[in-house]
Amino acid sequence: MLKIENLRFSYARREAEILRGLELELPAGKVGILLGKNGCGKTTLFKSVLGIEKPGEGKISFAGKELNSFSPRERAKLVAYVPQHIHFGNLSVYDSILMGRVAYFGSKAGESDRAVVDAIISEMGLESFAERNAEALSGGEKQKIAIARALAQEPALLIFDEPTGNLDMANEQLIIREARRLAEKRAITILSSLHDLNQALQMGDCFYLMRDGVIRYAGGSEILTPEHIREIFDIDIRIIEIDGEKIIIGGKQHETL
Amino acid sequence: MLLLLAAVLLMSFTCLLIGSSHMSIRECIEALSGRGSASQIRILRSIRLPRVFAALIAGAGLSVSGLMMQTALDNPMASPSTLGVSNAAVFGANLSIIAFSGGYLSTGHNVENYTAAASPYATSLLAFAFAALSILLILGLCRIKSFSPSVVVLSGIAMGSVWTAATTVLQFYATDVGLSAAVVWSFGDLGRASYKTDAIMLLVTVPGYLVFACYRWHCNALLSGDATARSMGISVDRLRFTMLLLSSLITAVIVSFLGIIGFLGIICPHLVKKLMGEDHRITLPLSALSGSLLLLLADTLSRSMGNGSALPVGAVTSLLGAPFFVGILLSKKGE
């Protein structure tokens, strides 16, 4: 389980806090979706979990172990990251994925590292891409390679920052399916941010509605009510059900008197 | 890679055969094996050979330093001198030549006395001392603030300006002889190299290169952005500090002994990256080899074009490299 307790963070001592005593619990092997407006602190929360930013206060633990007690290399073997903006520096797809093993091999990749990469390439059906320049691929393909690179770290916790942000509809579906498959097959716990509420419903098991640096509501899909959404996003939505599946319609700016 | 290595070896040999004494190829080979006249042996072994070694080491060192600076600062315009190393070295050398050069200030500015009193090692030592001071000041400042590329680059520009201004003040008070000696020092010149200086440059460049080689995957990870590199377990600030420190130290030692050899540290890594991609497993050795090759070529040309006296090799690297560089940038291969 990923457990975050009383997390506080500000970029400078005198600046306003971005995270204000944030609490979050995500059960192991589940997909948790963070929902909130831009600037509410989602990326800062991710950076804190990844060890990129040091929180001022609070505790982040995974599987009972506090993440701050790990060295960067050991932490990278536990937590991996798929960023929103992906760059590979003109490496081949194979080398880009192999780069995910750098925490294991240090300066020279060994046979075991290549075996891990080969298995991921085969599992994700990337054989035909392997020798291509990763930077020249389409948005959806790049996203898949970034997931493969993160998987090469053999993490137990995977952080996705807006995984469908720059993708077309077909690729959005592909990435959502891939994320769910990974969580189930590899028993990886996933924490992701998403803007699209319907995609969130498709991808997530647990939902966290975030505003002003705190989680206001946490739970299953039942917390995605028009009232909660209005409180978090300042928009009015309607929820309908077709064949037992929830669909969120609307997104009109909420008018206050 | 092998082709480039062969070109470097061939160019090194060609460089040994060319010089103002107009020795034939046979005489050169004989002198190299110790069978020529004493003066020929001396020319080959004490002048040309250390010069070729200097070109090999300094070319590789400056080019690799440029590559590392560009990666560390995520800035294609970064050069081995981004931390103001060259400006600081020039100030140190000017200080040594203009203010401390033996008795020249008190001997009626007699050129002969000046030449007799000035110690090239004192000048190099002071040049290096100020270059090292500049590195420490900037890296110290960045340690307090941050190692973000913009902070490092701006600190480097600011520090470089301070050294340049201080040099201008020194030169304003210098005599004609001191001023010309100081200006001539700043021209890059491989003719100053000796086995001793080559050995010192080698002792800094080779370990620096080996450390960079150990970090080649870390450098590749840095190309994905700081956040991604950190998520892969890389201590980005420590890596950046190490790369900046080693690149600047290599540059400081080379500049202190040979003067300013500009543009080489930008052009060679750029050409390699344009033609071969950004993978540091490839760009690192190729930058080293192409740097050596360009400096050998530039030195050979500088000695051929100078009508007996060599032109400043730094000017030749720019004159030779810039058009070629623009050509590559505009070519399809460089897209």
Amino acid A255: pLDDT: 60
For residue A95, give how far its alpha carbon lies from the nearest alpha carbon of chain B (Å).
9
Residues 6+ apart with CB under 8 A from A75: A50, A51, A67, B233
The domain tally of chain B equals: 1
Do residues B73 and B243 lie in contact, with contact meaning Cβ atoms separated by under 8 Å?
Answer: no
Q: Is A84 on the interface with B (CB under 8 A)?
A: no
Amino acid A254: pLDDT: 61
Q: Which residues, given as ranges, of chain A have pLDDT below 50?
A: 257
Inspect the interface and report whether the beta carbons of A77 and B233 lie closer than 8 Å. yes
Amino acid B118: pLDDT: 52
Summarised one tens digit per residue, pLDDT across range A93-135 is: 999 999 999 999 988 899 999 999 999 999 888 888 889 998 8
How many angstroms separate the CA atoms of B8 and B325, rounded? Answer: 19
Inspect the interface and report whether the beta carbons of A91 and B278 lie closer than 8 Å. yes
Interface of A with B in 102-131 (CB under 8 A): 102-103, 105-109
pLDDT at B308 over 80: no
Q: Which residues of B touch A103 (CB under 8 A)?
A: 232-233
For residue B238, give how far its alpha carbon lies from the nearest alpha carbon of chain A (Å).
12
Domain ranges (residues) in chain A: 2-78+155-253, 88-154
Inspect the interface and report whether the beta carbons of B217 and A105 lie closer than 8 Å. yes
B194 falls in which pLDDT band (50, 70, 90)?
confident
How many angstroms separate the CA atoms of A105 and A57, rounded? Answer: 33
Q: Which domain holds residue B208?
A: 2-334
What one-letter code names the amino acid at B42?
Answer: R
How many angstroms separate the CA atoms of B77 and B154, rounded? Answer: 13
Nearest-Cα residue of chain B relative to residue A153: B232
Amino acid B94: pLDDT: 87
What one-letter code names the amino acid at A205?
Answer: D
pLDDT at B332 over 60: no
CATH of the domain at B48: 1.10.3470.10
CATH topology of domain A2-78+155-253: Rossmann fold (3.40.50)
How many angstroms separate the CA atoms of A221 and A35, rounded? Answer: 12
How many angstroms separate the CA atoms of B123 and A73, rounded? Answer: 45
Q: Is B146 on the interface with A (CB under 8 A)?
A: no
Q: Which residues of A touch B272 (CB under 8 A)?
A: none
List C-alpha distances in Å: A229 to A40, A145, A195, A207, B215: 14, 33, 12, 12, 47
Summarised one tens digit per residue, pLDDT across range B205-234 is: 999 999 999 999 999 999 988 899 999 999
First to last CA, chain B: 22
Amino acid B180: pLDDT: 84
Inspect the interface and report whether the beta carbons of B277 and A133 lie closer than 8 Å. yes
Q: Which residues of A touch B215 (CB under 8 A)?
A: 107
For residue B292, give how far its alpha carbon lies from the nearest alpha carbon of chain A (Å).
25
First to last CA, chain A: 43
pLDDT at B306 over 80: no
Do residues A129 and A135 lie in contact, with contact meaning Cβ atoms separated by under 8 Å?
Answer: no
Inspect the interface and report whether the beta carbons of A91 and B277 lie closer than 8 Å. yes
Nearest-Cα residue of chain B relative to residue A103: B233
Inspect the interface and report whether the beta carbons of B228 and A77 lie closer than 8 Å. no
Cα-Cα-Cα-Cα dihedral sign, residues A149, A151, A157, A161: positive
Summarised one tens digit per residue, pLDDT across range B91-112 is: 988 888 888 763 333 333 444 4
A106 Rama sector, left if φ>0, alpha if ψ -120 to 50, beta otherwise = left
Q: Which residues of A touch B70 (CB under 8 A)?
A: none
Angle at B271 between CA A87 and CA B76, to 5 degrees: 50
* Mean pLDDT in residue range B142-169: 85
Inspect the interface and report whether the beta carbons of A81 and B227 lie closer than 8 Å. yes
What one-letter code names the amino acid at B73?
Answer: L
pTM, whole model, 2 decimals?
Answer: 0.85
How many angstroms separate the CA atoms of B93 and B95, rounded? Answer: 5
B114 falls in which pLDDT band (50, 70, 90)?
very low
Mutate to test the interface with A, among B146, B228, B236 (most CBs of A within 10 A): B228
* Assembly ipTM: 0.88
Query: Which of B84-88, B184-188, B233-237, B256-260 has the highest mean predicted lDDT (pLDDT)?
Result: B233-237
Tell me which residue has tokens 């034939």.
B24
Residues 6+ apart with CB under 8 A from B221: A99, A102, B228, B229, B232, B234
Q: Which residues of B touch A85 (CB under 8 A)?
A: 225
Q: Which residues of A touch B278 (CB under 8 A)?
A: 89-91
